[in-house]
Amino acid sequence: MYSLSELEQLCSECKKCRLCSTRKNAVFGEGSDRADIMFIGEGPGEQEDLQGRPFVGKAGKLLDKGIEALGLSRESVYIANIVKCRPPGNRVPEDDEAASCIEYLRWQVKLIDPKVIVLLGSTAGRNIIGKDFRITRQRGNVIEFGKFKIVPTYHPAAVLRDDTKKADFWSDLKLAVKIYGQIKNC
């Protein structure tokens, strides 16, 4: 059994896929190691790669707004990605890259043991729920996944590109918190 800091160290030295050759920093994830709500995105962008932190660019600012609007703080949740290294040009991670990296995420979920997992976008959905995952069809629903409740929603970058997704994005985040409230009060 690894600790989060041991895993982070392993990630920083990882050479399991080609993304290691272009990264400036691996972006392990951050937040509370006892978070009840975990957000999972696709992979680091330019700013994340430079700073070694998840969701610190424009999409991250929108995610921050959402987290704050829910009465939460970035420090109280946990934020991670499917792949820990930036795909060049922010392309979607290849299946083999995601497959090499997903073990780190599995450990993170196991150690943090969140109650609710919010999947941000279709890459997160496809790699966690399955290859048939469709964001437009499955967002806004609660998916029972073993002991976890999963709420898929749009990736914040997609919301920034298309304003019409904003209302659904907010309502999905609110759903995640509502579900969490129900679990907590059980």
Q: Which residues bind ligand URA (CB under 6 A)?
A: 27, 41-45, 48, 54-55, 57, 59-60, 81, 157
Q: Which CB, 149 or 155, lies closer to ligand URA?
A: 155
Q: Shortest distance, CB of residue 58 to ligand URA, whole angstroms?
A: 9
Q: Which CB, 24 or 178, lies closer to ligand URA?
A: 24
Specify the length of the chain in residues. 186
Q: Shortest distance, CB of residue 120 to ligand URA, whole angstroms?
A: 6
Angle CA 33–39–41, to nearest 5: 125
Q: Which CB, 31 or 43, lies closer to ligand URA?
A: 43
Which residue reads 């994830």 in tokens? 29
Which residue reads 């610190």 in tokens? 56
Residues with Cβ within 8 Å of 151's Cβ and at least 6 positions away in sequence, in order, are 116, 117, 118, 119, 140, 141, 142, 143, 172, 175, 176, 179
Q: Shortest distance, CB of residue 4 to ligand URA, whole angstroms?
A: 17
Q: Shortest distance, CB of residue 182 to ligand URA, whole angstroms?
A: 28
Q: Which CB, 63 or 72, lies closer to ligand URA?
A: 63
CB 109 within 8 A of CB 116: no
